[in-house]
Structure 1
Amino acid sequence: MTVLPENDDQPKYHPLPQKPDDHDPKQQLKTGDRKKQQRTIECWEWVFISVMIFVILVLVLFYITLMTYLSFIDFSNDPEFHVDDVTPTQFELSPTNNTLYYNLDVNMTFRNPNNKFGIHYDKIRANVMYHGQRLMTKHVQGFYLGHKMNNNVNLSVKGQQLLVLLENGVDEKEFYESESRNGVYEIDLKLRIKMRLTTTLSWEFFNSRHFNSRVVCHLKIPLISSQDSKVEFERTHCVYKQW
């Protein structure tokens, strides 16, 4: 028998890949398992997304409700402000140039009468007025005032101010001379306050939005030269207004 040598030039035949038989039970089982697994993953993804959306909506609604409650709440008791004492070291009008020289020490009390809310006094601006004319503006350092607590605030008001004619033509000097004869000077202390409320729910602290308030104190200060008289400074209650 003669064996013919192999010819490398002869074409080689490779078996074609078999097409999966859709009717093969094993193949059908694998395809079904993959689809079922994919549907399960998609289902859990939608469940997770839905839960997260629900949680976020609940937190947003809770925050809005709380902020609305804190922002528009009507104080059961308004914050209280008193001027306890005013010590005038100097309050003199120059007879030559209508310049008022003043040096006053003002002692105030801030009180929070509420049981459920603390108060943050973030910004306090004090204007000292003499018959409508501003003598000085002082900025007081802010502080926190807890439930049923008091805080003393001291203001040192020192400087000079030129008194001018009012719109009706009345000279401030006339007011000064009249009050000098009566032994009492009338001065207004006006506070502009930026504040917010703080309350505690469970273990969390919540702050309200900032809101502005105004405090007006009408003060009657005895003359410096009348120390031996019966005129004494009376503790003054200040008027509080929210705006």
Structure 2
Amino acid sequence: MGSASRMVSCLCCPFKCLACGLCSCLCSILISLLVTVAVLALIFYLLFRPHMIAATVDSVSLTRFSLGSNSILSYSLNVTMNVRNPNKHVGLYYDDVDSVALFEGQRFGYAPLDPFYQSTEATTRLTPAFTGQQPIRGDVAAADLRSQQTDGKFNIDVKLNARLRVKVWAFKVPGPKCKVTCPLSVPAPATNSAQFQPTDCKVWF
């Protein structure tokens, strides 16, 4: 009865049956594609096992960091940072690269950097330089700066931002946005404080 009813329905409205068949076919194709992509992603991960980027600040040079009138900060900070790609099979393109310097969460310096490519297991040295003047907002931040100057060290955060592209063999695919954060304890200018210690950075995607 049911089979005969469906046959009559198809005879009365063949376009309806055609639409149902196309919908079923498209759903099957879509599910097959999703399964294929998931399997390929798993194989890719198991084969290449991508590792996290590593970054270290090896040296800093702070020749000026003082408050003037109207809480204007004058600064001159040079940073030497090494960024390493530990992967054996994956190359990395770094696009839209920039770095910023912050004190007490306030950005006081900005330095755009050239895009670059890292081959497998390669290390790239970056040297962002921050020089200029910038207002510091709030009495607390100004008081912290004067207190740290007395202590002989400034707590400064340097951050690196980049858009990644991943290269596997001859294939290049878009990657995530990379954020590198380096919390630094920087000796104040013209002090006898301890030398800067190389500092590992945190990498976020």
Shift in Å, 1:208: 1.7
1:185 aligns with 2:154: yes
Contact 2:65–2:73 (8 Å) recurs in 1: yes
Runs of 4+ in 1 over 4 A off after TM superposition: 72-75
1:78 aligns with 2:47: no
Q: RCO (CA 8 Å, sep 6+): is it higher in 1 or 2?
A: 2
The correspondence for 1:208, drawn from 156, 163, 173, is: 173
Say yes or no: does 1:198 pair with 2:172. Answer: no
Amino acid at match of 1:135: F
Show the counterpart of 1:233. 196
Q: TM-score, normalised by structure 1?
A: 0.64
Q: CA RMSD in A?
A: 2.3
Deviations 1:44-69 (A, max 9, x none): xxxxxxxxxxxxx9xxx7xx849x73
Percent identical = 27
1:174 equivalenced with 2:140 (yes/no): no
SS in 2 for 1:77: coil
Q: How far apart are the structure 2 equivalents of 1:163 and 1:128?
A: 13
Q: Secondary structure at the match of 2:166?
A: strand
List alignment gaps of at least 5 residues for structure 2. Answer: 1-28
Q: What displacement does 1:163 show? A: 1.0
Partner residue, 1:135: 108
* 1:145 correspondence with 2:110: no
SS of residue matched to 1:116: coil
1:219 aligns with one of 174, 178, 184: 184
Tell me: CA distance 1:232–1:181, structure 2 relative to 1, closer, same or farther (3 Å): same
Amino acid at match of 1:209: P
Pick closer, same or farther for the CA change 1:65–1:152 going to 2, 3 Å: same
SS of aligned partner of 2:88 = coil
- Give the C-alpha shift of residue 76 in structure 1: 3.7
Task: State the structure with more CA Rg.
Answer: 1
Alpha-carbon deviations, 1:101-134, whole Å to 9, x = none?
Answer: 0001111111111101011011212121110111
Shift of 1:136: 2.0
Quick check: which one's helix share is greater? 2
SS in 1 for 2:128: strand
Q: Are residues 1:163 and 2:133 paired?
A: no
Deviation at 1:210, TM superposition (A): 3.2
Task: Tell me, in whole angstroms, the C-alpha distance in 2 between the residues paired with 1:237 and 1:124.
Answer: 19
Higher share of residues assigned strand: 2
Give me the TM-score of the superposition, normalised by structure 2: 0.75
